[in-house]
Amino acid sequence: MAKVLTDPAADFPRWYQDVVAKAELAENGPVRGTMVIRPYGYAIWERMVAEMDARIKACGAENAYFPLFIPMDYFEREAEHVEGFSPELAVVTHGGGKELDEPFAVRPTSETIFGEYMAKWVQSYRDLPLLLNQWCNVVRWELRTRLFLRSSEFLWQEGHTAHATELDARAYALRILHEAYEDFMVQVLAIPVIVGRKTASERFPGAINSMTCEGMMGDGKALQLGTSHELGQNFARVFQIDYLDDEGRQQLCWTTSWGTSTRMMGGLIMAHGDADGLVVPPRLAPIQCVVLVVKNNQGAGDLARRIEDDLRAAGVRVRLDDRTDTSFGRRATEWELKGIPFRLEIGPRDVAAGTVTLVRRDTGVKTPVAIGGVLDAVGGSIDGMQADILATATARRDERTAECSTLDEVIDAAATGFARVPWHVVGAAGEAQLAEAGITVRCLQRADGSVPLSEDEPDLVAFCARAY
C-alpha cells in the first residue's frame, strides 16, 4: 500500500500532525486551541492516568476536586504567580446575561485555590503532611497551539501538598519526581528521561525550586514531560497556611506542587513513532494485541475468537478484528498506524497449517507460531518488547547527546540533539545568549546524575537543547 504518512525525516512536524489525525488520536476543537480527544487517544490517556494515579497514591496523596473558576483576587494576592500567568489567563467577565461584579479566572493551575482551602483544613501539626492531587482540565490562552503539545485547554493532574518543615517538603517533591514521574515515564512510557533542577529563569512562578523530567524526541528536541516544585513558604504566607506545632507555637507550612499532562501523549508519539505511525509500548497499550482475521472461512473466524478469549483470560488486552468487508491490507495498515504492539494474523492457510502469524509493531518481524503456543508467544514477549523500545530510545538519546565545553559547541550540538556542558561554562549570561539562538537549559544535574539542591553547587552539568 502507498504510504499514508509524511516521512518524519523529511518533515517531522507534518509527520506528527499526520499521526495524530490518521491514528485517530485527536482533532482540533471548535474554539481555537481546544482539542477533541478521540476514543483511541482517550483510551491511551486513561491508561496513563491509571498508571500515574497508582504511583501518586503509593506516595500517600489523595485525590480531590476543586472548582474550574477561581476568583481573580486569589491570583492577585500572590504577585509573582499572577505575573507569571497573566498573559495566559482566560477571564470570565459576563454571566447570566450581565456583567459580573467580580470577574474570575478559568483555572490555569490551582495553587491559589488549594492554598485557600489548605488554610482551612490545616490547624495543627497532626494535620500534616496534607497530600492532595486532582485530575482535571486547565486553560492557558496559548498563541501558537499544537495538539497535545501546547493547547489552550488540556487535561492533567496537579498535586498540592503542605508540610511542617522545609526538609519534608523537599523530600516529598523529590519523591514524586522519582517514584511517580520518572518511574512511570521510564517503566511504562519507555522514555529515558533526564531528571534535574530547573535554572532560576526557567523556574515555575512563585517557586523556590523547580525540578523536571526531560525526554528527547525523535527529531532531537527536548520535551518537558513533568515537573515538581518546592514553593517554600510563599503561598503559605499569602494564604495563611499555618499550624500549631507540638509546643503550641504558630508556624507557617512549606508547600509543593507538581504536575503532568496530556503533553505526555505528544511525547509518546514523538519519542517512539516511525514512518508507519505510532508505536505504543505494551505496558501502556490499551490494546496489546489485535487478532486479525484475513478471510473468515474454513474456520479462521472461529479460531480467531477462541484465541481472543484465551488471550483475554490470560490478562492480555486484546481486540478481535474480523471485518472482512474491509481489505486485509487496509486493516493491517490501520493497526500499524495505531501502534498496537502485537498483531496475530489468521487465515484459512493458517488454520490448515496449525499456525498463526505474529507481527511485532516495533520491529515489523513476522513469526509463525503454533496455535497451541500463542499465549506464550504473546504473553512472553510483552516485557521483552517493552525493554527493546526503551533500549532503542535510550541509545538514540545517548548517541545524540554531545559533550561540550563551549557555548559554540552547545549551539552546534543542539541542532541535532542535546548538549551536556559544565554549568559554569554557561551561567546566567550564557543562558541568555543561548536563548537568543532558540536553545534553553533544560535542567541541571550533579556529575552522578542526581538532582542538586542549588544551582550554585560546584561541578554541575547543564543539559541544553531546543525544545517544544
Chunked into runs of 10 residues, the chain (468 residues) has average pLDDT values of 82 98 97 96 98 98 97 80 71 94 93 96 98 97 90 97 98 98 98 98 94 98 98 95 97 98 98 98 98 87 95 97 92 97 93 94 96 95 97 98 98 98 97 97 97 96 98
Is 436 buried (19+), middle (13-18) or exposed (0-12) by CB count in 10 A?
Answer: exposed
pLDDT in the model for residue 299: 84
**Cis peptide bond N-terminal to 348, omega within 30:** no
pLDDT in the model for residue 3: 66
pLDDT in the model for residue 456: 95
- Phi first, then psi: give them for residue 406, nearest 5 degrees: -140, 160
pLDDT in the model for residue 1: 42
Architecture field, domain 12-272: 2-Layer Sandwich (3.30)
The DSSP result for 274-297, as a single string, is: BTTB----TTT-S-SEEEEES-S-
Q: Does the predicted model carry a pTM greater than 0.85?
A: yes
Helix intervals (H) in 233-338: 234-239, 263-272, 300-313, 328-338
pLDDT in the model for residue 77: 81
Which amino acid is present at 232? G
pLDDT in the model for residue 140: 92
Q: Grid coordinates in use for 305?
A: 475468537
What fold, for 289-380? Rossmann fold (3.40.50)
Which amino acid is present at 158? E
Domain definitions of the chain by residue range: 12-272, 289-380, 402-465
C-alpha separations of 273 from 182, 281, 296, 341 in Å: 21, 11, 31, 12
Task: Determine which helix (DSSP H) or strand (DSSP E) holds 449, and give its type and residue range.
Answer: none
CA 453 to CA 433: how far, in whole Å?
25
Task: Detail the DSSP E strand segments found in 363-439.
Answer: 366-370, 401-403, 418-422
Name the 3-class secondary structure at 151: coil
Class of the domain covering 402-465: alpha beta
CA 74 to CA 105: how far, in whole Å?
10
- Among residues 226, 231, 274, the alpha carbon closest in space to that of 12 is found at 274
- Among residues 252, 125, 77, 266, the alpha carbon closest in space to that of 189 is found at 266
70 half-sphere exposure, CB direction, 13 A CA radius: 26
CA 286 to CA 39: how far, in whole Å?
11
